[in-house]
Amino acid sequence: MKQIRIWISILFVVIAFSVRGANRPNLVLVMADDVSPDMFSCFAPLTPYGMELAAKTPNIDKLAETGVAFKTAYASAMCGPSRAMIMTGKYGTTTGALQNGLWLNDSRNTIYSDHLAFGKMMAEAGYATAIAGKWHAGSQMPHEEVVGFQEYCLWEGPKEVLAVTGRELKKDECAWEDDSTPSRYWKPCLIRNGELVKVKDDDFGPDLCADFILDFMERQTKEGKPFMAYWPTVSPHGTRNGQPTNPFRGEPGDLGTKGDKDNGPRFRSLIEHLDSTIGRIQTKVKELGIEKNTIIIFCSDNGTAVTAKTRGVERGCHVVFMVAGAGIKKCGLTDELMDFSDIAPTLADYADVKPQQKVPFDGISLKPFLTGTTDHTKPLIHGFISTSQLVRSKDHLLEVYNPMLGMPDGRFYYTGENRFWKGYERVDNNPEHATAKKQIFRFLEQYPAMGADHLHWQTKAGQKFYKSYSSEKERSKHLFNHKDYQFYDEE
């Protein structure tokens, strides 16, 4: 009798895990590099200049049309801290990742020892995990156990090639963007599951990474295992070389010239090529017959280089974020708010895990909103870069809150239902908006600004960063919009 009870208990456990696994979707997360929402045709009509700058992105537009696309999503205004926020579900003030050159308390080397990476979280939940493209989210690498990706295909440099393969990268094994940077586009330097990929002159990096992701999806589907595929792409990243082939305007192997006059067309061509890759993923999902159990997430890591990246204004941290697929409501463009701290909690929710971690997520799960259980996300979102912080509600904005650079109150705006910078009204001292301002500063009490007395400024790295950061040229760039995007009062 006792043995029968034991076997019944085991059977219930097996059934429970089988049901849990059946309800957990495959997840594909694609992140574009250095591009603002206004470059995508689904968002362009909302901007002050319409379709003037936008690329043609029908496949990405389809994600927005058939799922949920956030008009207002915040990240950091630079790739490193944005990628760290995605991986951990936590703001830079929590992890120490504030800018590519500003990682506090040795967080560049210890961030995933101190904070759970979603790669490890998903692997421990029983997902097959893979990453392709560009890492740049700390010194701990994706294939290390502490980060948790079981397979990888990454664009890397000579240092990483030596560390992973045990041999030096030869000059003729890839093309080079400059004397020290291997190509990410034509004849790229890619490390795939511990080995340097052999490439030809007409091999295009984003296509090779797409092939890797599609092959991973197919293999896991055949094995009946839920998968988490993360593709932080190298495209389109401003001021870099290399265009995809026709019909995207380039020729095979042509690296062009960094900063050349064709940079605008090159930038759009890479966005359109990325859109075609999203189309490949959508097609593969249909071919594999997993449409009813696969979710595609598309986002960008920060605003477009030169005109937005590294700036403490809204355009710097305003990014693309959209979700479509299994169980996602057909909503289209939404006025609800999200920031990148919400991504890891959302993945955890879909994986049906409640991760045990020393420091809880700063974000929330978006699953209830994405599936229609609720009509709202959260009242405030947070963006940041270096020592600047931004907070947004649906109708108010605080940007460049930065006591370090002489902005102890930031700039405070009433935006109403307006988005994309047009029609913002400066209301710093307007009593009608005092309650909204108080709410925002109360939120920031949880994430205090970095002051001049912080111990980091006494370190050699801190002194070097601050010398450049506080120069008149850098200060002016950081605190204001690019001249082509000054649509509201910044005085």
Q: Which domains are present in the chain?
A: 24-153+208-381 (3.40.720.10), 382-485 (no CATH)
**pLDDT score for 152:** 98
Query: Tell me: the pLDDT tens digits for 95-132?
Result: 999 999 999 999 999 999 999 999 999 999 999 999 99
Query: Tell me: the pLDDT tens digits for 388-428?
Result: 999 999 999 999 999 999 999 999 999 999 999 989 999 99
Q: Please say if the pLDDT value at position 81 is more than 70.
A: yes
**pLDDT score for 319:** 98
Q: Please say if the pLDDT value at position 14 is more than 50.
A: no
**pLDDT score for 15:** 43
Residue with the larger pLDDT of the pair 135 and 178: 135
Query: Tell me: the pLDDT tens digits for 344-396?
Result: 999 999 999 999 899 999 999 999 999 999 999 999 999 999 999 999 999 99
Would you put residue 172 in left (φ > 0), alpha (ψ -120 to 50) or beta? Answer: alpha
Closest by CA position to 308, among listed 430, 442, 482, 185: 482
Which distant-in-sequence residues (6+ apart) come within 8 Å of 43 by Cβ? 37, 54, 69, 71, 320, 333, 420
* Residues, the chain: 491
Would you put residue 325 in left (φ > 0), alpha (ψ -120 to 50) or beta? Answer: left
CA dist., res. 199 & res. 190, Å (int): 9
Q: Please say if the pLDDT value at position 179 is more than 60.
A: yes
Identity of the highest mean pLDDT range in 6-10, 23-27, 62-66, 460-464 = 62-66
Tell me the average pLDDT across 296-324.
97
**pLDDT score for 249:** 53
**pLDDT score for 253:** 66
**pLDDT score for 264:** 80
Residue listed under structure tokens 């988005």: 419
pLDDT band at 177 (very low <50, low <70, confident <90, very high): confident
CA dist., res. 478 & res. 470, Å (int): 9
Query: Tell me: the pLDDT tens digits for 247-292?
Result: 555 666 666 665 555 678 888 889 999 999 999 999 999 999 999 9
Which distant-in-sequence residues (6+ apart) come within 8 Å of 257 by Cβ? 241
**pLDDT score for 239:** 56
pLDDT band at 8 (very low <50, low <70, confident <90, very high): very low
Q: For residue 107, with 0-12 CB atoms within 10 Å meaning exposed, 13-18 middle and 19 or more buried, which class applies?
A: buried
CA dist., res. 305 & res. 302, Å (int): 8
Q: Please say if the pLDDT value at position 11 is more than 80.
A: no
Tell me the average pLDDT across 145-171.
97
pLDDT band at 465 (very low <50, low <70, confident <90, very high): very high
Which residues, listed in sequence order, are joined to residue 99 by a DSSP beta bridge? 102
CA dist., res. 298 & res. 490, Å (int): 31
Percent of the chain whose predicted confidence (pLDDT) is above 90: 84
Tell me the average pLDDT across 153-164.
97
Tell me the average pLDDT across 134-159.
97
**pLDDT score for 263:** 75
Tell me the average pLDDT across 74-91.
98
